């Protein structure tokens, strides 16, 4: 299968304005991008402190609202969260939001999740930072229960329910792709045991190869449910989006299925549209 291309970030910078988001979403779909991706930070530390990736006044929209807007101005392009910080969310509210987007987009959602790393953000939201991995595992199980079970119930250490319903369930049902982000052993385990795919952010080819070794080691250690199929690999090479055909082919040779390109964040709308069109002409369908 040819390498697929996604575009990051449809909810920030020039795409955080309605005209920019609509213009770039349409251009990406027209030029053959397979997916649009939106990241998440609810709040940012002010002043900026490591490891915060953004300055406090940089614009970033809620990913699900931005992707819903993108869904309304497109037809076929897939809509990915790259990633939602799962322990910061109420799992049943988030499940309702994702099911709603999957319904309105007619089954185009890719649910990318991670456990987060920015402790000041967790503190501001009242979310548990030290337990975030265990919370994420429990929340994901709860979400999948409400999405897929005829009589949904879940009893875990952080969320418990039964005797409730939430309709509509996502049109994709159990096929709704779950993509796990992160490069820790726990993230690799989560991807192997619970994910349809794994997402590595800001990785060059060498770092990608190292991460894939970690995933292979996790696959030997933890059983993978047969219904999940092969683990799909998505990579964002890093800021700037300067990936030529030879570099894209190198990623493909490593076993990468999708490159989620991140253009320079300072591009104006005209420049970003040209970038999208150039990727369509030079890379999409040629790797």
| Of residues 182, 77, 80, the one with CA closest to residue 137 | 182
Would you state the structure tokens that stand for residue 117, as one six-digit string?
Answer: 């790393």
Q: How far is CA 3 from CA 127, 210, 233, 251, in A?
A: 37, 20, 11, 9
Residue 118 has pLDDT above 70, yes or no: yes
The predicted structure's pLDDT at residue 265: 85
* CA–CA gap between residue 15 and residue 58 (Å, rounded): 12
Residue linked to tokens 């795409």: 15
* Per-residue pLDDT tens digits for 220-232: 999 999 999 999 9
For the segment 279-284, the average pLDDT, to the nearest whole number, is 96
76: which residues sit within 8 A by CB, 6+ positions away?
Answer: 29, 108
Give me the phi and psi of 223, to 5 degrees please.
-70, 140
Residue 242 has pLDDT above 90, yes or no: no
Residue 240 has pLDDT above 80, yes or no: no
- Three-class SS of residue 244? coil
What is the residue-averaged pLDDT of the chain?
A: 97
* Per-residue pLDDT tens digits for 144-154: 999 999 999 99
The predicted structure's pLDDT at residue 239: 67
* Per-residue pLDDT tens digits for 25-63: 999 999 999 999 999 999 999 999 999 999 999 999 999
* CA–CA gap between residue 250 and residue 40 (Å, rounded): 29
Would you state the structure tokens that stand for residue 157, as one six-digit string?
Answer: 């250490």
The predicted structure's pLDDT at residue 238: 76
* Per-residue pLDDT tens digits for 203-216: 999 999 999 999 99
5: which residues sit within 8 A by CB, 6+ positions away?
Answer: 32, 33, 34, 35, 258, 259, 260, 261, 279, 283, 284
* Per-residue pLDDT tens digits for 171-205: 999 999 999 999 999 999 999 999 999 999 999 99
* CA–CA gap between residue 145 and residue 10 (Å, rounded): 29
| Of residues 89, 86, 82, 81, the one with CA closest to residue 105 | 81
**DSSP symbol at 239:** E
């Amino acid at each position: 299968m040819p390498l697929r291309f996604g575009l990051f970030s449809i909810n920030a910078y020039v795409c955080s304005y309605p005209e920019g988001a609509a213009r770039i979403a349409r251009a990406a779909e027209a030029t053959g991008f397979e997916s649009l991706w939106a990241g998440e930070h609810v709040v940012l530390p002010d002043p900026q402190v490591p490891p915060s990736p953004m300055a406090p006044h940089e614009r970033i929209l809620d990913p699900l609202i931005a992707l819903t807007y993108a869904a309304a101005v497109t037809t076929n392009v897939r809509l990915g969260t790259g990633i939602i910080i799962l322990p910061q969310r109420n799992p049943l509210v988030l499940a309702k939001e994702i099911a709603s987007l999957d319904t309105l987009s007619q089954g185009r959602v890719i649910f990318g999740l991670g456990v987060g790393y920015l402790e000041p953000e967790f503190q501001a939201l009242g979310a548990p930072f030290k337990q975030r991995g265990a919370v994420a595992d429990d929340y994901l199980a709860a979400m999948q229960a409400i999405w897929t079970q005829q009589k949904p119930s879940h009893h875990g250490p952080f969320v418990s329910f039964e005797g409730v319903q939430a309709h509509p369930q996502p049109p994709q049902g159990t096929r709704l792709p779950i993509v796990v982000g992160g490069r820790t052993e726990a993230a690799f385990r989560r991807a192997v045991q619970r994910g349809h795919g794994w997402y590595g952010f800001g990785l060059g080819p060498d770092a990608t190869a190292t991460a894939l070794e970690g995933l292979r080691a996790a696959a030997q250690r933890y059983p993978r449910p047969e219904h999940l199929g092969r683990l799909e690999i998505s990579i964002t090479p890093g800021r700037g989006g300067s990936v030529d055909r030879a570099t894209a082919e190198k990623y493909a040779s490593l076993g990468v299925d999708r490159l989620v390109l991140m253009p320079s964040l300072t591009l104006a709308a005209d420049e970003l549209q040209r970038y999208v069109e150039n990727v369509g002409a030079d890379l999409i369908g040629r790797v």
